[in-house]
């Protein structure tokens, strides 16, 4: 039943408007027990020349790049060990936490992660199953799940290790990454390549 | 800059309207690069007698109970091993996946989970750090992170085991739970109580 | 899909708002090929103190009495031959046209109608089947159909004579009545009471 | 005073929007005692890309062909005895009721009507005086009045026979036609061509 | 023709809403060549609980005291030589300019004005004829015209001296006052009381 | 916080819309104690074919020429003594009041003004400092301040004489002009060219 009318200054690309309309629909559908079909979202696009705030005409803001796009690109760059390009997506205060016995293993530099991974695997590839975004104020939290496969340090293969990554993204920069996975269980259960 | 006007039939409690306003704000803030202060959300409440769809007057729908409330209650009931009450929050097709070497350990009954846990710990308590909700259509995905502490089967304590749970909730029922944690790493690193 | 928002000064009774909402729905449903359920009508009631036209605060107008109410009351009063009360519903320029061989029988006074009816029946009662209203500008045309039964001048009964009356109503006054019926066919086919 | 704002997906032709605006005006003017000039109707046309219901972008529905157009075309085709073309405007459950002594003469096939007419006239032409539409939900009732002229079976002319037809139209198909007229009075009063 | 809809958080007193509605009407009427009666202004009052900006619920701001009220009170206090009370209406940077041969006589303290007036009149009273407000951004300029009467230094009366005062008011404080009048012409033409 | 939405028929030039938006902003800012930045003004431009009042489609009205433009042009024409062109800006009932000892000097014809000025100065030029417009209903009052310089009748120069003119403008015609200035003080204080 709810009808959501949003006034936008004209100029946002269609894909941004579709994304916004979906998200507004989702916000309503998550809150009100109504059939999805009863949720209507419409945009009133106002010409920039027809919009004034504080007695000053305004132009449309830019769209934010979807946080999940940024995260997926970061993950790809990390798989490829292109640390320099990956680093461009990071906030100056970036921290990451990887599996570890007590409160995990906190790292702040991508190089540390490379070192952390070395005894665990030669390389790893992610098969992604779900990507979810959660919004609160100016922070979007992105969750990526799937399975890892790759090569053990001794060259033996492994696969099917479940993982989930949690990313906090603000202003198109990743502030924090938390990683959980079944890698140790998987590696423990995989016969060493020659052992 | 965006102004979001939502027409609601009068009758939703204030906490529901605040929740909806926050979520609509979040949907905009995650999409448009605008200062949060430039996002305005307002509700036009229309008397039920002033709203007709399909030539039939309508009454306001119910609000959905927040999916994170349902999930947190479910987790509490499971900690307390009140399986019967916990089960009331589950969708008939409920499945859960716990850590395991390859693609995890899939379970469908809460009793199976109790059996799965028995060799791992006597009891476990969750210290919750983050709860995030992600909305898509009629499904809300809830992510809960924090640390586990409890007692090993031999009575020795453990703590600080990071966890994350991912829940899919639809129509106030949990359809799926996925669990990742550092429990095996933690237990492996904790000296057995008598060893 | 169409959403009809109407701004009204607060103060119209609920039955008037329901009537208006139905008529607005009907106007859309008659024009756009959409399922009736996709037509939403809502009223924004504005306090009289929040509405100004021409720099002058306004109060809500009165509702018009439904034209079909006026017509049905007029018909009842005519059946009862309460000409004086019936006349109060008539516009000064009232004309009526009853069946007749060429362009009907035009009358302007209710007394003429009584005289016109005298050789046809002693009394007549209407069984009403349909009442339809058609709106154009400030004129509502009302159509009433059904069957007539009553007593022939010789006292014999008749029944089942189909009729339709067309009324033009403006500003709560009947300006014109046009009558068609099968009365002559019915009377011709009914055996005279004694003869 | 009332202001009617209707949100439409952009794409309806101008004549449809004008028709809708007139009908919405009429709906208000028939309900509220306000000068016609105080009734404002405006359309907000929303780009199809700016409209989403149930999380799905929508395109504008089609306009309905005006019921009175359909009825007038049907009447013309019947005058011309083009039964096949006329039949295309009929709903499968079409019924019609013509004058008759008791509850009229019910017919369901156009051929029956031709047979019904044969002893009454060789041909008939309608001079149309009024056409009114009445809307309720998805049904439009159309009323057509005027006079009949034509040729008696014996070849003699007649004219000035008042008629009214009532049509129920739904989804661009005629479901029911009810006919009243002064034809029997007119024919009775017209000297036979050779008498 | 223009329709001005303003969304306000509920809570402004009626006199403030009337004042705002008049001023919005005036803004339109001064810009668009339309009969005043064609300008409609309406307020949508939104409950404070239904309004959120920047994800924070908001309460209605206060109304500004009309600048002309402040100015008229200031003028009254100055007539009564209640400098202390008058001074409360002044901005710290207050300046005033009174008649003088070249670019007027600039003063900054009310005491200076008293000294400036001493050789001109014993007291003066204003008969106010017009009060006009001009708005630009956060500054309202108030113009007061009328005539002065009073007593010459020698005790003789004078009257009918036209005056106009121009005041710049911001945030309820007078920043600047400019005075023009015919006082010197009037005094010159008035016979001294004892001459 | 206030959001002002104005429905306009499409067709007003951008400069008119900007002017209207500024004036609506000013009307709000002068009434509500809110930071200017919190005042949003937007226009919904409705196609002429999408706007109907009184069941009649409407076209946009013309814009009014700003009253201050008219006044400034009038002042320029008067400086140039182009009385014929100046007169075209005057309402038939035009009156003006110039400085004078008691209630000023009332004039109704521009020629009278020329005669009034002759003994005072050979010519005068205005240096304009402020132009303010005040709106009430269909009347705009314009205030122009600045200084006068020119030539005394004896050819000697003068300058720095403060002035203020008040104009009432309605329907693009000046109805009334009131003038105050320090000219007599200035002339009295300026040594005659040959004294």
Q: What is the pLDDT of residues C127-168, one digit of tens each?
A: 999 999 999 999 999 999 999 999 999 999 999 999 999 999
Nearest CA in chain C to A3: C3
Distance CA D113, CA D107 (A): 7
Does A14 sit within 8 Å of D52, measured CB to CB?
no
Neighbours of chain C (3+ CB pairs under 8 A): A, B, D, E
Residue F192: pLDDT band with limits 50, 70, 90? low
pLDDT digits (tens, 9 = 90+) for B47-88: 999 999 999 998 888 899 999 999 999 999 999 999 999 999
Does A64 sit within 8 Å of B33, measured CB to CB?
yes
Does D36 sit within 8 Å of F51, measured CB to CB?
no
Contacts of C21 in chain B (CB under 8 A): 50, 52, 55, 57
Pick from F5, F34, F138: CB nearest E61:
F34
Is residue A129 scored above 90 in pLDDT?
A: yes
pLDDT averaged over chain B?
94
Maximum alpha-carbon separation in chain E: 76
Distance CA E107, CA E125 (A): 21
* pLDDT attached to residue B191: 65
C107 touches chain D (CB under 8 A): no
Distance CA C158, CA D161 (A): 24
pLDDT digits (tens, 9 = 90+) for F88-117: 999 999 999 999 999 999 999 999 999 999
For every residue of E153-180, which 3-state class applies, written as one string? CCCCEEEEEEEEEEEEEECCEEEEEEEE
The DSSP bridge partners found for residue C116 are none
C vs E, Cβ pairs < 8 A, gives 46
Secondary structure of residue D22 in the 3-state scheme: helix
Nearest CA in chain F to E183: F101
C50 touches chain E (CB under 8 A): yes
How many Cα atoms occupy the beta-carbon half-sphere of E176 within 13 Å?
A: 8
Place of tokens 């007038």: D72
Is residue A191 scored above 70 in pLDDT?
A: no
Regarding beta strands B157-170 and B139-151, do their DSSP bridges make them parallel or antiparallel, or are they unpaired? antiparallel
* pLDDT attached to residue E195: 40
pLDDT digits (tens, 9 = 90+) for E111-169: 999 999 999 999 999 999 999 999 999 999 999 999 999 999 999 999 999 999 999 99
Is residue E42 scored above 90 in pLDDT?
A: yes
A39 touches chain D (CB under 8 A): yes
Shortest Cα distance, chain A CAs vs residue D48, angstroms: 9
Structure tokens at D87: 């039949």
Nearest CA in chain D to F57: D18
Contacts of E5 in chain F (CB under 8 A): 4-7
* pLDDT attached to residue A193: 52
Does A32 sit within 8 Å of B16, measured CB to CB?
yes
Structure tokens at E67: 């600048």
> What φ, ψ does residue E188 adopt, rounded to 5°?
-60, -35
Contacts of E36 in chain C (CB under 8 A): 54-55
Distance CA B146, CA B133 (A): 15
Contacts of D3 in chain C (CB under 8 A): 6-7
pLDDT averaged over chain A?
94
* pLDDT attached to residue F195: 40
pLDDT digits (tens, 9 = 90+) for D36-65: 988 999 999 999 999 999 999 988 888 999
* pLDDT attached to residue D20: 97
D14 touches chain C (CB under 8 A): no
Contact between residue B163 and residue B146 where contact means Cβ atoms under 8 Å apart: yes
Nearest CA in chain F to E45: F2
Shortest Cα distance, chain B CAs vs residue A111, angstroms: 23
Nearest CA in chain B to F4: B3
Does D35 sit within 8 Å of F53, measured CB to CB?
no
Shortest Cα distance, chain B CAs vs residue A107, angstroms: 15
Shortest Cα distance, chain F CAs vs residue D171, angstroms: 25
Q: Is the dihedral of CA E9, E12, E16, E18 positive or negative?
A: positive
pLDDT digits (tens, 9 = 90+) for A23-74: 999 999 999 998 898 899 999 999 999 999 999 998 888 899 999 999 999 9
Shortest Cα distance, chain E CAs vs residue C46, angstroms: 7
pLDDT averaged over chain D?
94
D92 burial (CB, 10 Å; 0-12 / 13-18 / 19+) is exposed
Place of tokens 């009075």: D185
Pick from C36, C39, C42: CB nearest B46:
C42
> What φ, ψ does residue B33 adopt, rounded to 5°?
-80, 80
B164 touches chain A (CB under 8 A): yes
Nearest by Cα to B22 from B124, B135, B105:
B135
* pLDDT attached to residue A190: 66
* Continuous H helices in F62-171: 67-79, 83-87, 110-117
How many Cα atoms occupy the beta-carbon half-sphere of D117 within 13 Å?
A: 19
Determine which helix (DSSP H) or strand (DSSP E) holds F28, and give its type and residue range: helix F14-29
Shortest Cα distance, chain C CAs vs residue D130, angstroms: 11
Place of tokens 């002033």: B50
A145 touches chain B (CB under 8 A): yes
Contact between residue F21 and residue A46 where contact means Cβ atoms under 8 Å apart: no
Structure tokens at D139: 């049904």
How many Cα atoms occupy the beta-carbon half-sphere of A159 within 13 Å?
A: 3
E26 touches chain C (CB under 8 A): yes
Does E36 sit within 8 Å of C54, measured CB to CB?
yes
* pLDDT attached to residue B192: 57
Distance CA F147, CA E27 (A): 29
Distance CA D141, CA D178 (A): 11
A29 touches chain D (CB under 8 A): yes
Cβ-based neighbour number of residue B13 at 10 Å: 9
F128 touches chain E (CB under 8 A): no
């Amino acid at each position: 039943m709810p009808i959501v009318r949003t006034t936008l200054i004209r100029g946002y690309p269609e894909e941004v408007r579709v994304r916004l309309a979906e998200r507004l629909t989702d916000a309503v559908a998550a809150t009100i027990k109504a059939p999805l079909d009863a949720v209507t979202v419409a945009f009133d696009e106002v010409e920039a020349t027809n919009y004034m705030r504080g007695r000053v005409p305004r132009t449309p803001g830019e769209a934010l790049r979807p946080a999940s796009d940024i995260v997926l690109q970061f993950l790809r760059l990390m798989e490829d060990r292109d640390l320099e390009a990956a680093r461009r997506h990071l906030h100056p205060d970036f921290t990451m936490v990887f599996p570890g016995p007590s409160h995990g293993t906190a790292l702040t530099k991508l190089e540390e992660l490379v070192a952390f991974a070395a005894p665990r695997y030669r390389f790893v590839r992610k098969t992604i199953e779900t990507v979810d975004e959660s919004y609160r104020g100016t922070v979007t939290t992105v969750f990526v799940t799937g399975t890892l496969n790759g090569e053990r340090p001794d060259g033996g293969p492994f696969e099917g290790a479940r993982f989930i990554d949690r990313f906090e993204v603000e202003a198109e920069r990743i502030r924090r990454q938390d990683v959980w996975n079944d890698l140790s269980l998987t590696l423990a259960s995989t016969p060493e390549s020659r052992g």
